[in-house]
Amino acid sequence: MAAVGSPERGRMHPHKFILWVGIGSIIMMFAGLTSAYIVRRNQANWLEFSLPAVFWYSTVVILFSSLTMHLALKAFKAREMPRYRLLVTITAGLGVLFAGLQVIGFLYLGGHGVQLTGQGSNPAASFILVITGLHALHVLGGVVALLVIFIRAYSSKVKSYNVSRIEIVGTYWHFVDILWVYLFIFFNLI
């Protein structure tokens, strides 16, 4: 009799599959928004302005958070729970800091005559607000996921070393980081 292998071997975890489908959808949404930005930019009444320096700082913060997430996953796989807890805490804190810096950036724009919404607003500012606002929502979703694994990391009841949850959150976190880098480069070069 031939040995029959496990049908589960080599298959993707269903949650990872759902994550990748979601990532594909998010990529398409942002591709559509940035395409609309390019088309609208060539029409009348487009206001040219530079992004404030705080967006550079937020970019550094989110890149650093990607590094801490990567190190957290490595620590979890090595079963170094104190290090993992610290790195997940730092990653979540950096995610919140990123969102805060984004708000500061938009407040700066509003304070310097770039009206983002309402009467007197300019399509350029409104596009940037919508696109980065949607990104911020995705970052906050990632922060919520980080908080869930953070709570599980400090829970005395949980003794499971199932890496799937951490990998899924890590993959999503790296995705929103890469997405921001794309948007940041897009807004600075286009």
The answer to the question of residue 30 being in a domain is no
Give me the residue label for tokens 């970019």: 59
By residue range, what is the domain housing residue 170?
A: 49-189
The answer to the question of residue 4 being in a domain is no
Going by C-alpha positions, the residue among 103, 175, 164, 102 that lies closest to residue 142 is 175
CATH of the domain at 116: 1.20.120.80
- For residue 99, which amino acid is it? A
The answer to the question of residue 22 being in a domain is no
The answer to the question of residue 32 being in a domain is no
- For residue 47, which amino acid is it? L
pLDDT at position 1: 43
What's the domain count of the chain? Answer: 1
36-91 tens-digit pLDDT? 999 998 888 788 888 899 999 999 999 999 999 999 999 999 989 899 999 999 99
The answer to the question of residue 140 being in a domain is yes
The answer to the question of residue 90 being in a domain is yes
More confident residue, 10 or 91: 91
The answer to the question of residue 167 being in a domain is yes
pTM of the model: 0.86
**Overall average pLDDT of the 2-28 stretch:** 77
Work out the number of other CB atoms within 10 angstroms of the CB of residue 159.
Answer: 7
149-167 tens-digit pLDDT? 888 888 766 566 788 889 9
pLDDT at position 59: 95
104-163 tens-digit pLDDT? 998 998 888 888 787 877 888 888 889 988 998 999 899 899 888 888 888 766 566 788
Contact 58, 176 (CB under 8 A): no
pLDDT at position 117: 81
- For residue 103, which amino acid is it? V
Cα dihedral 70, 73, 77, 78 in deg (nearest 10): 60
**H helix or E strand, kind and range, residue 124:** helix 123-154
For residue 179, name the pLDDT band (cuts at 50, 70, 90): very high
**Overall average pLDDT of the 18-38 stretch:** 94
CA distances from 150 to 45, 62, 105, 158, 162 (A): 47, 18, 28, 12, 14
More confident residue, 186 or 1: 186
Backbone angles phi, psi at 117, to 5 degrees: -140, 170
The answer to the question of residue 137 being in a domain is yes
pLDDT at position 8: 55
